[in-house]
Structure 1
């Protein structure tokens, strides 16, 4: 695997965003949060930008946020993207490990939640398999947003490895929706 350096920023950095923006838009060509929303998330202290850098080039990026308090704190991975031609080399798994270690060390989280598009296409299945390969548990509840055409399912990675994800996933969407509500709120 490539030798990578992981960074996390809490304060908006326009130069860094310019280096990671192409990967973000390549992976999420439509429906992704705008630059203004991402910047607002960092400005208000509710979001983080993370990068994986190889020889000065950003080759991986993530947008995360925290929900919950104390022992119930959860990391939401809002976006995770790898440079298209470098996918399949283990960089996504490496980024997840870095995100997990950072969130445990800095915030004492009890788990990580992502939402994956619910579908039966090969692309949907490959994404879900990636998350499952990295320890995430797929829940059965399918959530349909009012303003987004595709349905989603929640996936969770419990931090202690033994905590079962007993809920079908509906409860996990309370965390996800709380994060989105704050992320989209104007100041």
Structure 2
């Protein structure tokens, strides 16, 4: 299975136009608007990742860094595989490419993400995917004031000595810090 990988640290409208249909398909509600995503890259707080099969967009992700050097973590804000390509192992491959890039370029300690915590079939399938990728779900369930569904943090420790210090609340502080930076006016 071959998936070429690219990471953008500056906005490229042509690349975004290729990745945008995957983003909109996977996140039809509650996704960050394009100007916010563009601002994340313009302000150097986020990255846009693309996975391509034979020059055709197959996967996309939006990530951001939090923490100081030596304690830096990568927030996996959004990740999606094109719907017609799911179930072929591309999700794990793409995640591994993001992980390898983040360790190599930013020496991250862990990857953190949030997943919907409501107990239903779709969310359970997502949780199982993340577990198969090595993520550890936390007990703490967070409810945002601006979205109706609750979320659970998951963490993928990458460096020896990385430890979670609580039930997941501190991970949400990292996630929230990225969200606040993304929506902050310049």
Distance between the aligned counterparts of 1:161 and 1:138, measured in 2?
Answer: 19
- The aligned counterpart of 2:124 is 125
* Runs of 4+ off more than 3 Å: 161-166
Q: What is the CA deviation profile of residues 46-68 of structure 1, one whole-angstrom value per residue up to 9, with x for unaligned ones? A: 00000001111010000000000
Tell me the matched-pair count. Answer: 186
1:51 aligns with 2:50: yes
Distance between the aligned counterparts of 1:180 and 1:110, measured in 2?
Answer: 20
- The aligned counterpart of 1:15 is 14
- Contact in 1 for aligned 2:3/2:94 (Cα 8 Å): no
Query: What is the TM-score normalised by the length of structure 2?
Result: 0.97
Query: What is the TM-score normalised by the length of structure 1?
Result: 0.97
Deviation of 1:164 after TM superposition, in Å, equals 4.3
Distance between the aligned counterparts of 1:161 and 1:95, measured in 2?
Answer: 23
Deviation of 1:121 after TM superposition, in Å, equals 0.6
Deviation of 1:72 after TM superposition, in Å, equals 1.1
Point out where structure 1 has 5 or more consecutive residues left out of the alignment.
none
- Contact in 2 for aligned 1:8/1:49 (Cα 8 Å): yes
Q: What is the CA deviation profile of residues 93-134 of structure 1, one whole-angstrom value per residue up to 9, with x for unaligned ones? A: 011100110000000000000000001111000001111100
Deviation of 1:169 after TM superposition, in Å, equals 0.5
Aligned-residue CA RMSD (Å):
1.1
- Contact in 2 for aligned 1:137/1:165 (Cα 8 Å): no
Point out where structure 2 has 5 or more consecutive residues left out of the alignment.
none
